[in-house]
Structure 1
Amino acid sequence: MAGVLAGCGGPGDSGDVTLKLVAADYGDSAANSSKKYWAKVVEGFEKDNPGIDVEVTVHSWNDVDREVKEMVKKGEAPDLAQIGAYADYAAQDKLYEADELLSIATQADFMTPLARAGEVHRIQYGMPFASSTRLLFYNTKLFKDAHLTPPRTWGELQSAAKALKARGVKIPYALPLGPEEAPAETLMWMLSGGGGYTDEVGSYDIDSKQNAKTFAWLRDELVGKGLTGPTPPAKMNRAEAFAAFSRGDVGMLNGHPTLMKMAAKKGVKFGMVPAPGVNGKAQATMGVADWMMAFKQNGHRKEAGKFLDYVYSEKNVLDFSNEYDILPVTNSASEAMAKDRGHTELGKFLKELPTSQLYPVGKTSWAQVSASIKQNIGRTVDKNGNPSSILGQIQNKAATAENAE
């Protein structure tokens, strides 16, 4: 009996192993589904690594996080998951550390802001898989008609918005602080005002003086002067703002690479510049990342590591980034893309990545804090909104959630 079992290839043995990966779909149709990307990657890997099979299940972004959560709850965790968040699983000690999986060269190749965002207590569990930054989009036709140049400061942004309003532009500046993606617009404005969600040591600092000043300026100088259109920012969602820009109804808004395709499809000509700050270009822009993680449950550390080293090769990272107009997460692929596409529109986003700041996704409390921001931040810019008070309430909830971690 012992002899039979020894030949069965238990966890981590050299026998045949099947790795299970659950991944998100970045395509918008069957023609460009992520299934095709993974099929190609798996084919190449299995050819070079007989004895390791990889089964990939691809779900839409609406379902993928929930599917993985349910698998883990049932005690059937996949070996690998490429989803939106990793911190809860790291906190439950369900994940391998990145340096238990990856070669030194692969781990060192991750871009620094992204690698840092994958850490919990300075240990990396989340491996960045896809990334993006934000830029200020502006409608070039509306700007040309009003003899405007792209703004570099808050004052110039306000002046441009006033000129657009005077010419009858429906939404001079779109400020989506509605529940769909309020944390993104919030962070972009916090960073441009010299603040952010956390301080230098990584503790929540939501009610800082800089953040309170930023939202007071938005309340008084943009929203209060009727420069953000007829929908109150608390009710304006990102999808609605992007659709309005693609119709030609918006003068300016913060956007990510997806908006380029949406606007081009509708024939809207646009330009893009780094986010304006108080007195010049903002010191940092917002970055976002999606995550790869490896679960300990099945014991396939060695095989999962081999596959991840292959996944993060320069060619595979570049192929994925080029297919979906998403920024690469490694230095080698970023340098290759900069050489090839640095002069293109995507290159402008790439340029902002090294100094970007991400959500504090390494905190298990972030999900609660994010929900609180979605619910409350829009009220800071209401006519009688009190930014200091509202930011203070969010900060108190954040501190309580953080202390419970």
Structure 2
Amino acid sequence: MTGLTGLTAALAALGMTATLAGCGASVASDDTVTLKMVAADYGDSPANSTQKYWDEVTAAFEKKNPGIEVDVDVRSWSEVDAAVAAMVKKGDAPDIAQIGAYADYAAQGKLYSADDLLSIPVQADFLPALSQAGELRRVQYGMPFASSTRLLFYNKDLFAQAGVTGAPQSWTELAADARKLKAAGVKYPFALPLGREEAPAETLMWLLSGGDGYTDNVGTYTLDSEANIKTFKWLRDDLVGEGLTGPTAPGELDRQDAFNAFSRGEVGMLNGHPTLMKQAAKKGVEYGMVPLPGVNGKAKATMGVADWMMGFKQHGHKAEIGKFLDFVYADENVLEFSDRYDILPVTSSASDAMAEDPKYKHLREFLEELPNSELYPVGKTSWAQVSAAVKQRIGKAVERDGDPAAILQRLQNEAVAAESAE
């Protein structure tokens, strides 16, 4: 991995300068302010735990900012959101959290806005789609920290064995390619992970592919739209019903299990994010990547995802939090994090640097899709409840005897109820 110093040199070579200036006032006395931060772990082993990244960043920050210390507690994704929720409920919120959702805390008035914390150049550097996704009632509280888009991965060797030439450009071609893969003995012609691990993501990819999404352009839930119902009827009839999704029912197939099967050479096609590249390459799988096609060509948009940084008001360390976050979002730090974990940058300057650097050629297709991607409706406090309902029910919509219209209508009713309760 490139060290922080190495990335500074790389940025200089690209004619860029990392901006490390903070927006907050300096500590007013000799007393040291200690910021408490809880963050998610993006590593897959102790050897590449994100704790090591934060230890490096905080050491560099504290050297430049005497009087401010930052204590970062890194937790696994399975517990980090619940850990922060418990701290807030107990009345001892962290100063900073880097977790999966911000809207509930913002709606309760517990967070500083991005305007409160960040310098103007740093806030303006966020990719617009990500800034907008971080807003609640048109005020940005969630600051994007890590982002990703999704692409359709396909196994080149399995395609060649099945006589498939080139990636599918429409749903008709996708189903036809899957039938050829099945005839060639491929275990999972198209892996469709609608299990609880990440069902909302796979669902959104297909809703966008079918021309709609979770919400309309003014943010109203549209789960049971005609387009969405048609999408899930097609999945039920043309993929699952034709036996093209493999031996595990989509509602029981989790994302990581599908990734593992792809890396074993058992999957012809599936939707994936950048971490699948490294996993597949380790196993010697030759793969290609393209955007998931739409009904008759290009999809409405590619799905994007983001994780969020937020500053809590409880302990009143606005200036110190802002100074630290300005440092965190310096190009050298954003790129270092992206480099370690195959995550896309959330700022325009770091994205441009990555796009121009041959080292990151493997991420360019994901980078190209990010600016126009569509994210979950994370600015809705109802989203957490809706997401949980999707995880619980959506797999049943594609069962051979499933009723997509009834299931999507039930999800819509639950979404409307959750929205009215905000």
TM-score scaled to structure 1, two decimals? 0.95
Q: Using a 3 Å threshold, how does the CA distance of structure 1 residues 208 and 190 change in structure 2: closer, same or farther?
A: same
Give the match's secondary structure for 2:98. Answer: strand
Q: Which residue of 2 aligns with 1:226?
A: 243
1:78 counterpart letter in structure 2 = P
The match for 2:78 is: 62
What residue in structure 1 maps to residue 28 of structure 2? Answer: 14
| 1:326 alignment partner, SS class | coil
Q: Find the aligned partners of 1:85 and 1:341 in 2 and give their Cα distance.
A: 33
Q: Is the counterpart of residue 135 in structure 1 residue 182 in structure 2?
A: no
Output one character per residue of 1:24-72: Cα deviation in whole Å (capped at 9) or x when no partner: 1111222221122112211221122121111111111122112211111
1:52 paired residue number? 68
Shift of 1:345: 1.9
Aligned to 1:165: 182
Aligned residues of 2:35 and 2:321 also touching (Cα < 8 A) = yes
> How far off is 1:384 after superposition?
2.2
Aligned to 2:310: 293
SS of residue paired to 1:54: strand
Offset, 1:343: 6.4
Q: Distance in 2 between matches of 1:215 and 1:62?
A: 29
Q: Could you tell me how far apart the structure 2 residues matched to 1:76 and 1:195 are? A: 41
Query: Residue 8 of structure 1 aligns with which residue?
Result: none
Deviates more, 1:291-300 or 1:28-37: 28-37
Please identify, of 217-226 and 93-102, the stretch whose mean Cα deviation from structure 2 is larger: 217-226
Unaligned runs of 5+ in 2: 1-24
- Residues 12 and 300, structure 1, Cα contact 8 Å, conserved in 2: no
- State the match for 2:227 in structure 1: 210
Q: Is the 8 A contact 1:12 1:301 kept in 2?
A: no
Among candidates 267, 271, 279, match of residue 250 of structure 1: 267
For residue 194 of structure 2, what is the aligned residue in structure 1?
Answer: 177
How far apart, CA to CA, are the structure 1 residues paired with 2:192 and 2:36? 41
Partner SS, residue 357 of structure 2 = helix
Partner AA of 1:238 in structure 2: R
Contact 2:212 2:300 in 1 (8 A): no
Deviates more, 1:268-277 or 1:182-191: 268-277
| Deviations 1:160-188, CA, capped at 9 Å, x for gaps | 00111111111100111122211111000
Q: Cα offset for 1:273?
A: 0.8
Q: Give the Cα–Cα distance (whole angstroms) in 1 for the partners of residues 85 and 26 of structure 2.
A: 24
Inter-partner Cα distance in structure 2 for 1:28 and 1:382: 33
Matched position secondary structure for 2:213? coil
Shift of 1:342: 7.9
Question: What is the one-letter code of the residue matched to 1:191?
Answer: L
1:259 shift after superposition: 1.1
1:79 is matched with 95
* CA distance in 1 between partners of 2:249 and 2:36 (Å): 45
2-side partners of 1:271 and 1:342: how far apart?
18
User: How big is the shift at 1:229?
Assistant: 1.2
Compute the RMSD of aligned alpha carbons: 1.4
On the 8 A contact 2:209/2:292 being kept in 1, the answer is yes
**Which is worse superposed, 395-404 or 79-88?**
79-88
Counterpart of 2:405 in structure 1: which amino acid? Answer: S
Number of equivalent positions: 395
Residues 236 and 399, structure 2, Cα contact 8 Å, conserved in 1: yes
How far apart in 2 are the matches of 1:101 and 1:221? 50
Identity %: 67
Counterpart of 2:20?
Answer: none
Which SS does the other structure have where 2:298 is aligned?
coil
- Indicate how the Cα distance of structure 1 residues 363 and 342 shifts in structure 2: closer, same or farther if over 3 A, else same: farther
Distance 1:402 1:341, change over 3 A: farther
**Pairing of 1:325-336 with structure 2 (within 5 A):** 325-336=342-353
Aligned partner letter, 1:14: A
Tell me if structure 2 keeps the 8 A contact 1:91–1:364: yes
Contact 1:136 1:272 in 2 (8 A): yes
Report the Cα distance in structure 2 between the residues aligned to 1:61 and 1:372, rounded to whole angstroms. 20
2:110 is aligned to 94
Greater shift after overlay, 73-82 or 328-337?
A: 73-82
2:341 corresponds in structure 1 to 324
Asked if 2 retains the 8 angstrom alpha-carbon contact of 1:182 and 1:374, the reply is yes
Shift of 1:13: 5.7
Q: Kindly indicate whether residue 386 of structure 2 is the aligned counterpart of residue 366 of structure 1.
A: no
Contact 1:342 1:348 in 2 (8 A): no
Residue equivalent to 1:307: 324
**SS of structure 2 residue aligned to 1:344:** helix
Partner Cα distance (2:211, 2:193) in 1: 20
User: Aligned letter for 1:179?
Assistant: R
Quick one: distance in 2 between partners of 1:239 and 1:367? Answer: 21
Secondary structure at 1:212 match in 2: helix
Structure 1 residue runs of 5 or longer lacking an equivalent are 1-10
SS of 1:389's equivalent in the other structure is: helix
Amino acid at match of 1:71: M
Rounded Cα–Cα distance in structure 1 between residues aligned with 2:69 and 2:384: 34
Query: Could you state the TM-score of these two structures normalised by the residue count of structure 2?
Result: 0.91
Alignment match, 1:24: 40
Alignment of 1:31-42 (within 5 A): 31-42=47-58
Contact kept, 8 Å, 2:38 with 2:72, in 1: the verdict is: yes
Asked if 1:109 is matched to 2:125, the reply is yes
CA contact (8 A) 1:182 1:373 kept: yes
